[in-house]
Structure 1
Amino acid sequence: MSRLADVRFRAATAFQRRINPLLRRLPLQTVIETKGRVSGLPRQTPVGGRRVGDAFWLVSEFGERSQYVRNIQADPRVRVRIRGRWYAGTARLVPDDDPVARLRRLPRFNGLGVRAFGTNLLTVRVDLAEV
């Protein structure tokens, strides 16, 4: 990883550590809940994305370096809160998808942040089932 990419990663994660606890409390904020790969405890991460049919699509700005992506790799069973309603789902990484093209179809505000800070974009698809 380049020095610039590492600086962007550290700056973004430091910011997210402070803002994520506030964001995940907002009732309409979309949140993905994974199981901690070491602790086994639920981990909630605010995300931007869009539901398309029975799937929820999002783009991870740091790819496999993102903690929630690493948790998905260990256990793909997740929950997603969309507009205040929880859905169970199975997440999978879609490395063959074009994440920049995918961002164009996702909410604009989130897409701008992901593109601005992201260093290793990775598409994630969650196949949903209502809880």
Structure 2
Amino acid sequence: MPIPNAVARFNRVATNRVLRPFTARLPGFAVVRHNGRTSGRPYRTPVGLFARPDGYVIALTYGPDRDWVKNIVAAGGCELEIRGRTVAATAPRVVHDPARTGMPPGVKQALTLLGVTDFLHLSRP
């Protein structure tokens, strides 16, 4: 079971605003830049990011039904701010993976404890 909605709301309102300036520069983190599906409004969402040979993976700690995930899937991609640079990411797909394949040791165990089984896979263009 993903992290509860109350925690997600608190993080969106408080924690994310404080951490957003740093996450684009810290190893293992990124800021996802995407636009609202109906409003077209630009958004910036801090995430934990894992590089893969063919792209990136984001653990969906709050589940796959978050607006930012839907925005990225609907748009067919997003931009990622990673360690001071901006890169394009395409072909988003939500993957249900109870085995947490490809997650580094430690992270895999933490995701298991949190019950995270969904991931957003993004390709490099």
The residue aligned with 2:118 is 122
Moved runs in structure 1, 4+ residues, more than 6 A? none
Does residue 15 in structure 1 map to residue 34 in structure 2? no
Structure (1/2) with the larger helix percentage: 1
Letter in 1 for 2:19: L
| TM score, norm. by length of structure 1 | 0.72
Does the residue aligned with 2:33 lie in a helix, a strand or coil? strand
Equivalent pairs, count: 121
User: Aligned equivalents of 1:37 and 1:64: distance in 2?
Assistant: 16
- For 1:26-41, list aligned pairs within 5 A: 26=22, 27-29=24-26, 30-41=30-41
The residue aligned with 1:55 is 55
Letter in 2 for 1:105: P
User: Aligned equivalents of 1:89 and 1:53: distance in 2?
Assistant: 13
Structure 1 unaligned segments of length 5 or more: list them: none
Identical amino acids, percent of aligned pairs: 26
Q: Is the 8 A contact 2:4 2:62 kept in 1?
A: no
The residue aligned with 1:105 is 104
Distance 1:33 1:89, change over 3 A: same
Structure 2 unaligned segments of length 5 or more: list them: none
Does the residue aligned with 2:100 lie in a helix, a strand or coil? helix
| TM score, norm. by length of structure 2 | 0.75
Aligned-residue RMSD, C-alpha: 3.0
